[in-house]
Amino acid sequence: METFGTRLYRAISERGPLCVGIDPHPGLLARWGLADDLDGLDRFTRTVVDALGDRVAVVKPQSAFFERFGSRGVAILESTIRQLREAGSLVLLDVKRGDIGSTVSAYASAYLDPSSPLYVDAVTASPYLGVGSLAPMFDLAAQHGGGVFVLALTSNPEGAAVQRARTADGRTVAQTVIDEISQLNRGADPLGSFGLVVGATIGDTGHDLSGVGGPLLAPGLGAQGAGAADLRTVFGSSLPAVLPSYSREVLSAGPDGTALRAAADRVLAECRAVLAAR
Ligand SMILES: O=c1ccn([C@@H]2O[C@H](COP(=O)(O)O)[C@@H](O)[C@H]2O)c(=O)[nH]1
C-alpha cells in the first residue's frame, strides 16, 4: 500500500503544487447566479469538480459549507468526494477535528476508514487537546495510506495568541506541534504523510520547519491577503514542502469552467515561480 505522502508527492509532480478549496460561501453562490440552497450547493460543487478535478493535485472541500445544509448537504459532500476521486485529484477534507482520544477514534473512522461514506485521502485536525489525542487519526491514516494535516500556525490573526504562547521549555506551542509531527514523519521518503497547516499570512515567525518531513499546507493566499511571494518569507528553506492553497481567489472566477481553470493555472504559475526559485 502506498502512503499518502508518496501519493501526494506523485500528484504534485504530475499536476503541480496546488490545492484548491471548495468553499461554497453564500456570497459566491450569489455571484455565480445560484440560490443559497441544496440545488445551488450541488451545482456549485459539480462545476468546480468538472473544471478542476482532472488537473489540480489536491482539492479541499470545506466541510462547514456543506454541514450548514444538514444531512442533505453532507450527502452532497459525500458525492463531491466520490466525483473528485474519480476525476483523479486527492481529496483533503477541511474539518479541523480534535477531541479526547476515544472520540478522535470515531472521527478517524468517519474520514480515514475506506468503508466510510466520507472517506477521504486526508483531513485537517486541531492539536489543541494535545497532539497525542490525535493518535487514533495518525494510526488509521498510516494503516490505510491516509494523511492528516495538523494546525500549527494558522492564517487568521487570532491564532497567534494561542499558537505563539511559550511553553515551560521556552518553545512556542506551535513549535511543540511542529516537533511532534516531525517525529511522526521520521524516515519517510520521499514525503511523510503527516502535514502541518501554516498560513501564508503570518510573515517570518522564526519557527523551525526544517525537520517536518511532511507537506506544509499554506492557506491564506488570495482572499486573506497573502500572495505567492509571501511563501518565501514564511517558509524560507522549507519551500520545497509547501502546498499552496487557494479557495475564493480561484472560485470567484466561476461559474465558467474555462475561467476557473485559467484562475487555477494563474495561481499555480505564480506559486511555481516562487517555489522554483528556492
Ligand atoms: O489556517 C487556516 C486553516 C484553514 N483555512 C481554511 O482555508 C480556506 C481558505 O479560504 P480562502 O477563500 O482561500 O481564504 C478556508 O476553508 C479556511 O477555513 C484557513 O484559511 N486558514
Find out whether 61 and 80 touch, Cβ atoms under 8 Å. Answer: yes
On the question of pLDDT at 278 being above 70, the answer is: no
Strands (E), the chain: 19-22, 58-61, 90-97, 122-125, 147-153, 194-198, 216-218, 242-246
Per-residue confidence (pLDDT) for residue 94, from 0 to 100: 98
Per-residue confidence (pLDDT) for residue 192, from 0 to 100: 98
In degrees rounded to 5, what are phi and psi of residue 48? -65, -45
* Mean pLDDT over the full length of the chain: 97
66 CB near ligand 1 (under 6 Å): no
Summarize the confidence of residues 103-114 as an average pLDDT.
98
| pTM: predicted TM-score of the whole model, two decimal places | 0.98
Question: Catalytic pick from 7, 60, 96, 207?
Answer: 96
Summarize the confidence of residues 161-178 as an average pLDDT.
98
CA of residue 222 to ligand 1 center, whole Å: 10
Torsion, Cα 62 64 68 70, to 10 degrees, reads 80
- Nearest protein Cα to ligand 1, atom 1: 154
CA of residue 252 to ligand 1 center, whole Å: 15
CA of residue 232 to ligand 1 center, whole Å: 19
Dihedral sign for Cα atoms in the order 219, 104, 167, 185: negative
Distance between CA atoms of residues 63 and 56, nearest Å: 19
Summarize the confidence of residues 64-89 as an average pLDDT.
98
Model pLDDT for residues 21-44, shown as the tens digit of each residue: 999 999 999 999 999 999 999 999
Model pLDDT for residues 3-19, shown as the tens digit of each residue: 999 999 999 999 999 99
Q: What is the DSSP string of 41-65?
A: HHHHHHHHHHHHTTT-SEEEEBTHH
In degrees rounded to 5, what are phi and psi of residue 96? 45, 50
Q: Which three cell numbers stand for residue 73?
A: 448537504
Summarize the confidence of residues 105-124 as an average pLDDT.
98
- Nearest protein Cα to ligand 1, atom 19: 219
62 CB near ligand 1 (under 6 Å): yes
222 CB near ligand 1 (under 6 Å): yes
To the query of whether residue 60 is one of the catalytic residues in this protein, the response is: no
Q: What whole-number percentage of the chain has pLDDT above 90?
A: 99
Model pLDDT for residues 180-230, shown as the tens digit of each residue: 999 999 999 999 999 999 999 999 999 999 999 999 999 999 999 999 999
Model confidence at 171, pLDDT cuts 50, 70, 90, reads very high
CA of residue 98 to ligand 1 center, whole Å: 17
The Cβ-side half-sphere exposure at 273, using a 13 Å CA radius, reads 9
Per-residue confidence (pLDDT) for residue 248, from 0 to 100: 98
Model confidence at 276, pLDDT cuts 50, 70, 90, reads confident
Task: Kindly give the number of the ligand 1 atom that is closest to the alpha carbon of 245.
Answer: 13
Q: Which three cell numbers stand for residue 252?
A: 470567484
Model pLDDT for residues 124-152, shown as the tens digit of each residue: 999 999 999 999 999 999 999 999 999 99
Distance between CA atoms of residues 239 and 219, nearest Å: 14
Dihedral sign for Cα atoms in the order 24, 29, 35, 39: negative
- Nearest protein Cα to ligand 1, atom 11: 247
CA of residue 219 to ligand 1 center, whole Å: 5
Distance between CA atoms of residues 153 and 161, nearest Å: 10
Find out whether 21 and 245 touch, Cβ atoms under 8 Å. Answer: yes
Which residues lie below 8 Å from residue 113, measured CB to CB, with a gap of 6+?
119, 140, 144
Q: Specify the amino acid at residue 228.
A: A
199 CB near ligand 1 (under 6 Å): yes
Find out whether 192 and 150 touch, Cβ atoms under 8 Å. Answer: no
Per-residue confidence (pLDDT) for residue 216, from 0 to 100: 98
Q: Specify the amino acid at residue 134.
A: L
